[in-house]
Amino acid sequence: MKMKATGWDTLPPIHAQVADEHATTAPTPTGITVSSNWLRKVLTFAMVMGPGLIVMEADNDAGAVSTYTQAGAQYGTHLLWLLLLLLPICYFVQEMVVRLGIATGQGHAAMIYQRFGKWWGRFSLVDLLVVNFLTLVTEFAAIALAVQGMGIDPVIAVPVSAAALVALVVTGSYRQWERVTVILCVLDIAWIWLAFHADRGGSASRVVHDTLVPTMPQGGIKPNLVFLVIAIVGTTIAPWQLFFQQSCVADKRLRFKDLNWSRLDTAIGATFTIIVAGCMMLVGNLLFRKHVPFTDPAQMGAALAPTMGRTAHLAILLLMINAAVLGTTAISLSSAWAYGEVMGWPASLDLKPRQAPRFYTAYGAFTGLAAALVLIPRAPLQLIIVGVQALAGVILPSAIIFLQLLLNDHELLGDEYVNRSWNNVINWTIIILLFALSIVLAAQVVAPNVFPAN
């Protein structure tokens, strides 16, 4: 009797949808007749949107809040131009993910496993799970820092947060999870108010100049600056984003008729995320202008309270928690989706826990264990947070190489949806730049005197 292979040994076959010109678009609300073409487009976009906005804004997670505010606190507005440079990179990388997810109807981990074999599949999955888990630790570290600033014991708040995050995804409805998560994303608009509040009395022309013109902080290139630049790249474009958005697209069952709307969703998400990131830098910049040392965002909020008021202080702490919640749900899901896809488990938010017990157990395990580690006494939370962002920047190039190769697979995508020549030029340039940053970080670790301190 021939036994059925399981786990690492088998995955569902790839079913490219490129040739299916009659594939249905995202579902529209039932019982509604729309005669206006404009309104029909708005409703269609409303049904398609979600994965792009969530994957981008969830990347403004706890690590991002710490990294961007630290950049502003240490270097003022001098690194704003880096965010503008990262905007098109964010979009181009995630647009490829959208095309791949729509074409295959499967997640990124499954694609790597099927197209490159077991060894590379395991390599990419282990890479993802390790970085994701460390990043989850940073999310709960930020929650611990924020609740401490509010006078709440982390021993109580962290486990409650972990339980709430598990409850968020076990509803058996992808759309319900997506609606709640989109609302959390929109709450980050508050960073724009904080930035205007923090920059009162500052120089608007300096902000515009440093955004459009690359400038180097006084003192030139130093180890701390190199480390922070790589951390900014690592937190703005993270490996988990590739896996998360592709699984989101597959779980939402989007089709090529939805492609342009999905691109718009991704572009809006990328733009909003970079704007919010810039606002975080401007809030940190107030510490720079006042010559107040930076420890972590919670300490920053307390330090800024005399200047910005108690409302702004509370807003910073609540936004830290919101960022951590967004990051935790997205990163835990990217891990659970990827692991479930490779193991051949049912893995969808539209399944009830009894229908996909191992998928939801994996999500809960990733979330719970990370929360437990944060409660270790005297852990260096801010160092962990920024260090993980730098690690993500080092691992990112290999993840993008897999994506680039998949997007040049004519059998998978067909001639219409594979990368064009200009896509490849841009993408290989991005990969080379990221590899260069990784080499610089490695050189700094192995030979700390490569960049002199003075």
CATH code of residue 341: 1.20.1740.10
Tell whether 202 is covered by a domain: yes
Amino acid identity of 255? Answer: R
Nearest to 296 by CA among 407, 213, 386: 386
On the 0-12 / 13-18 / 19+ scale of CB atoms within 10 A, 39 is: exposed
Residue burial 241-258, b: 16+ Cβ < 10 Å; e: rest: bbbbbbbbbbbbbbbbbb
Tell whether 97 is covered by a domain: yes
Other CB atoms within 10 A of residue 128 CB: 25
Tell whether 386 is covered by a domain: yes
Nearest to 160 by CA among 183, 144, 176: 144
Tell whether 234 is covered by a domain: yes
Residues 343 and 362 sit within 8 Å (Cβ to Cβ): no
R_g of the chain computed on alpha carbons: 22
- Per-residue pLDDT, 205: 82
Find the domain containing 374 and state its range: 48-420
- Say which residue the tokens 């479930």 belong to: 340
Tell whether 261 is covered by a domain: yes
H/E/C letters for each residue in the chain? CCCCCCHHHCCCCCCCCCCCCCCCCCCCCCCCCCCCHHHHHHHHHHHHCCHHHHHHHCCCCHHHHHHHHHHHHHHCCCCHHHHHHHHHHHHHHHHHHHHHHHHHCCCHHHHHHHHHCHHHHHHHHHHHHHHHHHHHHHHHHHHHHHHHHCCCCHHHHHHHHHHHHHHHHCCCCHHHHHHHHHHHHHHHHHHHHHHHHHCCCCCHHHHHHHHHCCCCCCCCCCHHHHHHHHHHHHHHCCHHHHHHHHHHHHHHCCCHHHHHHHHHHHHHHHHHHHHHHHHHHHHHHHHHHHCCCCCCHHHHHHHHHHHHCHHHHHHHHHHHHHHHHHHHHHHHHHHHHHHHHHHCCCCCCCCCCCCCHHHHHHHHHHHHHHHHHHCCCCCCHHHHHHHHHHHHHHHHHHHHHHHHHHCCCHHHHHHHHCCCHHHHHHHHHHHHHHHHHHHHHHHHHHCHHHCCCC
Q: Quote the pTM value.
A: 0.82
- Rounded CA-CA distance 131/397 in Å is 14
Residues 69 and 280 sit within 8 Å (Cβ to Cβ): yes
- Per-residue pLDDT, 419: 86
- Rounded CA-CA distance 109/334 in Å is 10
Tell whether 334 is covered by a domain: yes
Contacts of 324 (CB under 8 A, 6+ apart): 61, 62, 139, 140, 142, 143, 146, 161
CA distances from 172 to 251, 254, 322, 349, 452 (A): 12, 18, 23, 5, 55
Residues 102 and 18 sit within 8 Å (Cβ to Cβ): no
Tell whether 448 is covered by a domain: no
- Rounded CA-CA distance 246/141 in Å is 27
Tell whether 244 is covered by a domain: yes
Those residues of the chain that have pLDDT short of 50 are 1-29, 445-446, 451-454
On the 0-12 / 13-18 / 19+ scale of CB atoms within 10 A, 220 is: exposed
- Per-residue pLDDT, 20: 44
Phi-psi label, residue 431: left if phi above 0, alpha if psi -120 to 50, beta otherwise:
alpha
Q: How many domains does the chain have?
A: 1
| CA dihedral over 144, 147, 148, 154, signed as positive or negative | negative
Other CB atoms within 10 A of residue 159 CB: 15
- Rounded CA-CA distance 165/325 in Å is 7
Give the tokens for residue 263.
Answer: 């691109």
Nearest to 133 by CA among 430, 428, 395, 354: 395
